[in-house]
Amino acid sequence: MRYLFAALLFASPAFAEGEPDAAHLFEIAGLEILHPWTNATQDNHAFVYMEIHNEGADPVEIIGARLLDGPQGYLVGFRMQGGKMGIASLPPIPVAPGKHLDLTPRDLAIRLDGLVAPLVAGQSLKAVLLTSAGELEIDVAIESMSATRHSHSGHSH
Amino acid sequence: MTSVWAALPVFMQNGLIAVGLLGPLLLVGALLLRGFRPWPLVRALLWRFRWANLMFVLLIAVSIGMGIGLIAQERGLRVGTAKAAEKFDLVVTAPGSELTMMLAAVYLQPAAVPLLDGFAYDRIARHDHVAIAAPIAFGDSHEGAPVVGTIADFVTHLAGDPVEGRLFQRSGEAVIGSAIDLKIGDRFTPAHGHGARAEEDAHDGFEIEVVGRMPPTGSPWDRAILIPVETVWEVHGLANGHRVEEGDRIGPPFTPELFPGTPAIIVRATEFWANYALRSEFTEAGETMAFFPGTVLNDLYRVMGDVRQAMSVMSTVNQILVATAVLLGLFILSRLFQRQLAMLRALGAPRRFILSVVWGYGVSLLLAGTALGLTFGFAAAALLSRLVTQRTDILVTASITWSEVTLALAFLSATSFLSLIPALVVLTRPIVENLQK
Amino acid sequence: MGLPLKILDLAVHAAGRSLLKVPTLDVPAGALIGVRGPSGAGKSTFLHALSGLTEVEGSIRWGKTDIARLSPERRSAFRAAHVGMIFQDHLLFDELSTEANASLAALFSPAAKRRDIARRAADRLDRLRVPPGRRSVASFSGGERQRVAISRALATDPAILLADEPTASLDRPAADRLIDDLVALVRQSGKTLIAVSHDPHLLERLDRVLTIEDGALRADSLAETT
């Protein structure tokens, strides 16, 4: 009887891996980080994308990100040069109050170096977002190698 | 190992690849031909079967030329379109298809698109990190050339070098692209709309005077006529973006309530990184859409690249077929002169000599075909580029780079090795029988 | 100088059939030998065996070398060094000049020998009165072509000359002129000549005539005179 009760308890949604929203939304100092994600990869670096909304009253700069114990990664911008897509390092970008900044593939991203293991689609990666308002731990969802957007994009939270 | 390779300068990498491809071939040639002089006989054979040989050479050349022309052409198109979009950092339009907006605003391919109002323009132009916000208002034409309304700052930015004559300073003046068939001082009346259905007399009474000419840009803007955006509005009977008190001043700032609208705004940021912040900021659902033409082009190139890959595969298959045909041809032709070869062996010519004659003959055909193929490829790419440039006004130049040469060398190397086979088969034929045909 | 020939138990087979059988034959160096017989008798087979072009059983000794025991490559080298061959159809390269045709062997000979071959070729062409200065042999008459072919055969200074119907495609006057020049040249140089021929004018100028019929040596003029 005890075992049945325990089984029921563990089966209930309350013990599932947190609410779906909790894995997609992160906050610091009025800054909302939505759907951080990256592509599965075998390389030692990855590009992280996300939506950033500044719901606070002060501007916040996005500096970069790092793995829990890895080197610091910075913003990079993709640009067309001479018919080929190139990557340029960027300084921290401020997000003004009420404004938003979108990091999307082939546009703007945070480059994370120092990966020691391949990223597998379906799993998630713990990283630390670096902003002028402080550090924020985020869960980066790993999408497939060819994904061009977060699997939940289009949903409103 | 790979890091050593990556550290080499590009020309050394290319040189090493070429050596790697040709090296084995030259080695085999040296080993086969050592001490012999097969060339007088090879020449005799080339002359004896000259029509068949010519056909083989042309076959090889066309096959290689097609493959190379395709690759060079695609690259030329990519570079040309990218260059034409260089001056357009960030484009802001009404929400819709980024591709359609880009083709309209950057490449002047006409499309009916919604307008952004004066308040949208004002928000953008007043932004701290916006250096230039240029309205691009198209819709009229003159003798097939688009007439585009904008501001003088954008003309300077687009032209790069100083404009011949001067920029427009009041409404009713125009700066023309380098390919327009008008002179400074000429006057014209714009037609409403584009192409065959342009209404020539819709704007009767309005005259525009040419005051300047831009240097060539290698883009469709060479065939455009730039006028103040105020003139576009006036010609259509609208407010001209300024209050009456301002007299005939043109250019920003505009009065939002008197700003009739513009299909697109080209934005130049104060710093490079600000482009990205601005792109996010100016993309507000339902109101405005901001994009990088470079990114849109890149997506186009990926599609083009996929098409090119598919065609590359076809081209490679084609080359293999041609190579096979040539080898079969060598088999057949070698039967035609097997009496002479038997005679040579009867005279005591060593087997290696026979091998060097037949192989030398095959390689001569392949070499001639490959060299001619490179020429064909270049000519084909140049011709296609000329056509594309004429049709789209985007300056596309064809060029053969090392990667094409490498492909040709790889083909030559591979087929030359394969042509050892017919040469070896010739050796297996009995001498006495072939002597007595 | 020519090489002597000694044959012992020569047998040539093909596809299970016996093409030629010669139990014994002795030819001194410098002899001029004719070979006649009906077509298909095995005369060409005889020449091919003597030149090492076919596999044989028995022994064929030119001088000290038994070519029957050599590998095909070694026989080929032997031919290049010691045998000059004259074919019935000349087999020249129409695209090459007379000099190039006559010095054909230079193309596959070591560099040291090339000049000698070219020189000898020019000399033989001159001696055989081939008209000089023509671009290619395509326009030559039958007789002229055969002279070029003979010059080619002699350019390497071989000790042995093997000829297969050298006058077959020539008219009588041309054939007679050729016979005169050929015999004079061969006698003067002391080479061993073995010529297959139907031509009585040629055969009567030679030292000895063999008759081959049905794959066997039926008659030998040498034996008849003794």
Which residue type, as a one-letter code, is found at position A68?
L
d(CA C164, CA C78): 19
Q: If you compute the radius of gyration of chain A from its CA atoms, what whole number of angstroms results?
A: 18
Nearest-CA neighbor of B174 among B197, B208, B143, B144? B208
Distances in whole angstroms, Cα of residue A139 to Cα of each of A19, A123, A157: 13, 10, 17
Q: C107 contacts in B (CB within 8 Å)? A: 36-38, 40-41, 349, 353
Which residue type, as a one-letter code, is found at position C217?
L
* Interchain proximity B35–C110, CB inside 8 Å: yes
Which residue type, as a one-letter code, is found at position B383?
L
pLDDT at B406 over 90: no
Q: Tell me, yes or no, if A91 comes closer than 8 A to chain B by beta carbon.
A: yes
Residue A50: per-residue pLDDT: 92
Chains C and A contact (Cβ–Cβ under 8 Å for 3 or more pairs): no
In C, minimum Cα distance to B351 occurs at C73
Q: Tell me, yes or no, if B298 comes closer than 8 A to chain A by beta carbon.
A: yes
Residue B1: per-residue pLDDT: 66
Q: Tell me, yes or no, if C126 comes closer than 8 A to chain B by beta carbon.
A: no
Owner of token pair 């090119």:
B308
* pLDDT tens digits along B50-67: 998 999 899 889 988 988
Pick C104's closest partner by Cβ from B36, B47, B347. B347
* Interchain proximity A77–B273, CB inside 8 Å: yes
Contact B287, B95 (CB under 8 A): yes
d(CA B262, CA B137): 5
Q: Tell me, yes or no, if A33 comes closer than 8 A to chain B by beta carbon.
A: no
Residue A153: per-residue pLDDT: 61
Q: Tell me, yes or no, if C100 comes closer than 8 A to chain B by beta carbon.
A: yes
Stretch among B8-17, B114-123, B234-243, B414-423 having the lowest mean pLDDT: B8-17
Q: C87 contacts in B (CB within 8 Å)? A: 343, 346, 435
- Chosen from B361, B435, B436 to mutate, greatest number of chain C CBs within 10 A: B435
Domain ranges of chain B: 10-83+300-435, 90-291
* Interchain proximity A107–B276, CB inside 8 Å: yes
Pairing of strands A31-39, A45-54: antiparallel
In A, minimum Cα distance to B294 occurs at A80
Instruction: For CA atoms B372, B377, B380, B382, give the dihedral sign.
Output: negative
Structure tokens at C120: 């000898």
Structure tokens at C81: 């060094």
Q: What is the mean pLDDT of chain B?
A: 87
In B, minimum Cα distance to A89 occurs at B273
Q: Tell me, yes or no, if C73 comes closer than 8 A to chain B by beta carbon.
A: yes
Look at chain B and count its residues: 437
d(CA B162, CA B212): 10
d(CA B400, CA B410): 16
Owner of token pair 């390269």:
C93
Distance of CA A97 to the CA centre of its chain: 20
Contact C40, C19 (CB under 8 A): no
The 3 state secondary structure assigned to B419-432 is CHHHHHHHHHCCHH
Distance of CA B410 to the CA centre of its chain: 24
Structure tokens at C196: 């297959």
In A, minimum Cα distance to B128 occurs at A96
Residue A2: per-residue pLDDT: 61
d(CA C104, CA C96): 10
The C65-66 sheet, strands edge to edge: C65-66, C57-62, C5-14, C17-27, C216-220, C208-213, C32-36, C192-196, C160-164, C83-86
Owner of token pair 């059988």:
C21
> Given 3-state DSSP classes, what are the helix, strand and coil percentages for chain B, each rounded to the nearest 5?
60, 15, 30
Owner of token pair 């139990």:
C23
Residue A13: per-residue pLDDT: 45
* Interchain proximity A79–B294, CB inside 8 Å: yes
d(CA B277, CA B271): 10
d(CA B93, CA B287): 9
Residue A74, classed as helix, strand or coil, is: strand
DSSP letter string, A16-58: SSS-TGGGTEEEETTEEEEEEEEE-BSSSEEEEEEEEEE-SSS
Pairing of strands C192-196, C32-36: parallel
Residue A19: per-residue pLDDT: 38
Q: Tell me, yes or no, if C55 comes closer than 8 A to chain B by beta carbon.
A: no
Instruction: For CA atoms C38, C43, C45, C46, give the dihedral sign.
Output: positive
Q: Tell me, yes or no, if B345 comes closer than 8 A to chain C by beta carbon.
A: yes
d(CA B347, CA C160): 12
DSSP code, position B214: P
d(CA B16, CA B14): 5
Nearest-CA neighbor of C188 among C157, C219, C153, C142? C157
Contact B177, B221 (CB under 8 A): yes
d(CA C141, CA C143): 5
Residue A29, classed as helix, strand or coil, is: coil
> Which tops the pLDDT comparison, A137 or B433?
A137
Nearest-CA neighbor of B42 among B264, B359, B347? B359
* pLDDT tens digits along C101-138: 999 999 999 888 899 999 999 999 888 888 777 667 88
- Measured over all CA atoms, what is the biggest interatomic distance in chain B, rounded to whole angstroms? 109
Whether this prediction's pTM lies above 0.90 is answered by no
b/e B359-380 (16+ beta carbons within 10 angstroms → b) = bbbbbbbbbbbbbbbbebbbeb
Kindly report the number of other CB atoms within 10 A of residue B89's CB atom.
22
Contact B398, B384 (CB under 8 A): yes
Q: Tell me, yes or no, if B42 comes closer than 8 A to chain C by beta carbon.
A: no
Q: Tell me, yes or no, if A30 comes closer than 8 A to chain B by beta carbon.
A: no
In B, minimum Cα distance to A76 occurs at B273
* Interchain proximity A95–B273, CB inside 8 Å: no
Query: What mean pLDDT comes out for the span B152-180?
Result: 90
Look at chain C and count its residues: 226
b/e A66-98 (16+ beta carbons within 10 angstroms → b) = bbeeeeebbbbbbbbeebebeeeebeebbbeee
Pick B298's closest partner by Cβ from A82, A99, A106. A106
Q: B301 contacts in A (CB within 8 Å)? A: 83
Q: C86 contacts in B (CB within 8 Å)? A: none
H/E stretch holding B10: helix B10-33
DSSP code, position C105: G
Q: Report mean pLDDT in 10-residue bins for chain A, 157 residues.
A: 56 42 75 91 90 90 88 88 83 90 90 87 89 90 85 60
Residue C196 Cα, gap to closest chain B Cα (Å): 15
Q: Tell me, yes or no, if A76 comes closer than 8 A to chain B by beta carbon.
A: no
Contact C206, C192 (CB under 8 A): no
Residue C192, classed as helix, strand or coil, is: strand
Crossing angle (nearest 10°) for helices B50-84 and B402-418: 150
Contact A67, A36 (CB under 8 A): no
Cis peptide before B253 (omega within 30 of 0): yes
Kindly report the number of other CB atoms within 10 A of residue B321's CB atom.
12
Structure tokens at B159: 């032209």
* Interchain proximity B351–C76, CB inside 8 Å: yes
Residue C153 is part of a domain; what is its CATH number? 3.40.50.300
ipTM of the complex: 0.90
Q: Which residues, given as ranges, of chain C have pLDDT below 70? A: 134-135, 223-226
d(CA B17, CA B19): 5
Pick B40's closest partner by Cβ from C73, C80, C96. C96
DSSP letter string, B36-47: ---HHHHHHHHH
Residue B92: per-residue pLDDT: 94
Contact A64, A75 (CB under 8 A): yes
Q: Is B331 exposed, middle or buried (0-12, 13-18, 19+ CB in 10 A)?
A: middle
Nearest-CA neighbor of B364 among B406, B305, B412, B423? B412
Q: B298 contacts in A (CB within 8 Å)? A: 78, 80, 85, 106
User: Could you give the count of Cα atoms lying within 13 Å of A3 in the half-sphere of its Cβ?
Assistant: 0
Query: What mean pLDDT comes out for the span B342-368?
Result: 92
Pick C95's closest partner by Cβ from B48, B349, B351. B48
Nearest-CA neighbor of A135 among A67, A82, A83? A67
Q: Tell me, yes or no, if A106 comes closer than 8 A to chain B by beta carbon.
A: yes
Residue C43, classed as helix, strand or coil, is: helix
Number of independent structural domains in chain C = 1
Supply the range of the domain harboring residue C186: 5-222
Q: B433 contacts in C (CB within 8 Å)? A: none
Structure tokens at C189: 């140089």
Structure tokens at B430: 């009995």
Q: Which chains touch B (3 or more CB pairs under 8 A)?
A: A, C
d(CA C51, CA C194): 11
Nearest-CA neighbor of B71 among B394, B370, B413, B401? B401
Pick B350's closest partner by Cβ from C76, C83, C96. C76
Give me the residues paired with residue C36 across strands. C211
Residue A18: per-residue pLDDT: 36
Pick A101's closest partner by Cβ from B280, B293, B295. B280
d(CA C118, CA C101): 10
